[in-house]
Amino acid sequence: MDISALEREIVEADLSSPEAQQRFRQKFLKKGGVLDELFAKLRSLPQEQRKELGTQLNRLRALAQGRVEVAGSVENSPSTALSTDATFPRLTLSSGGRHPLSIVEERVIRLFQRLGYSLADGPEIEDDWHNFTALNFEPDHPARDMQDTFFINPSAGRLLRTHTSTVQVRVMEAMRPPIRILAPGRVYRHETISARAHVYFHQIEGLYIDTHVSAADLRATLEYFIRSFFGEKTRTRWRASYFPFTEMSAEVDIGCLICGGEGCPVCKYSGWVEVLGCGMVDPNVLTACGISPEAYRGFAFGLGVERITQLLFGIPDLRLFGQNNISFLESFRGYGYAL
């Protein structure tokens, strides 16, 4: 039995007319046809041969059915000559473009991939452990309140994640160091919508854990990113801060690119804009994720995609990113991955 020859016959059969299609059905798909007779012979074959041949025959039958369906749809479709109206106005089609947040996120990812970071992802609907407890949030921390977090099921601790640090926890639980990952994604917080804030936004967080990671490594990494992304002459300012999941903790500001440091609503007339938070991973977080703080150290950082997109393009209002304003989006049509 030459299966290949039978397959070639099905593929090359002429189905250009209703009569030819009927003959094709009779030969390959109807009772008493070629495939039907071969299926009938399966019962007399050994088990192993029966399984292999049955798979091949099922594939041939699906191929034959597909050819008949395609031929029928072509036959029933209106002809080009009848469906063309020469008096109809010509349609002018324009090319689309990428959303500015997508453009900037891709550029950030590429910069960190040069340093050996790989991408990681996680669910947007999270539990209390991954969003708060494993990250060293105290039971009475204000971020757990309904005023700051969108809870789906408060009694079960189900919520919309408030940061992509949840991905870091999941990676640390699943992998052993060295770990060097980047976690982009959408997050949700109960904020008042304004030119500077929204109830949802996009974060990119990074995590690096190994045996000899230091604060100097953290600073060198982020200074490289800021100068590669915003330009070599970008001014930076490091400020001590507090995050439950890092110790030490810092926030990094850059000179406002919108007003040039003279003062505007975006920088609150200070001349500086915060672009990211960072710090050395707290030993309690390492312990909660099953990693020895005596053997390993690490740093983490996080930045808001909307904020740096706003600074890069001089966009005065964060709300523009989610309003689908065609005039606004068309202004980014010419941008690609490499800004």
Q: What is the pLDDT of residue 86?
A: 64
Q: Are 180 and 117 in contact (CB under 8 A)?
A: yes
Residue 83: band (very low, low, confident or very high) from pLDDT cuts 50, 70, 90: low
More confident residue, 8 or 224: 224
Alpha helix stretches (DSSP H) within the chain? 3-12, 18-28, 34-41, 47-76, 80-83, 100-113, 128-131, 165-174, 215-230, 283-288, 305-313, 326-330
Most confident of 148-157, 225-234, 274-283: 274-283
Q: What is the pLDDT of residue 283?
A: 96
Could you give the CA distance from residue 191 to residue 150 in angstroms, rounded to a whole number? 10
CB-count burial class (<10 Å; 0-12, 13-18, 19+) for 1 = exposed
Q: What share of the chain is helix, strand, coil (3-state, %, to 5)?
A: 40, 20, 40
Could you give the CA distance from residue 146 to residue 132 in angstroms, rounded to a whole number? 14
Could you give the CA distance from residue 34 to residue 61 in angstroms, rounded to a whole number? 10
Express each pLDDT in 17-33 by its tens digit: 888 888 888 888 888 88
As a whole number, the mean pLDDT across the chain is 85
Give me the percent of the chain exceeding a pLDDT of 90. 43
Question: 10 Å Cβ neighbour count for 21?
Answer: 18
Question: What tokens appear for 262 in the block?
Answer: 């003279």
Residue 88: band (very low, low, confident or very high) from pLDDT cuts 50, 70, 90: low
Lowest-confidence segment of 97-111, 143-157, 169-183, 225-239 by average pLDDT: 143-157
CA distances (Å), 184 to each of 166, 295, 332, in order? 11, 28, 21
> How confident is the model over 64-85, as a mean pLDDT?
64
Q: Are 299 and 217 in contact (CB under 8 A)?
A: yes
* Best CA proximity match to 187, nearest among 206, 208, 207, 205: 205
Sequence-distant (6+) residues with CB within 8 A of 253 are 236, 237, 238, 239, 272, 273, 274, 275
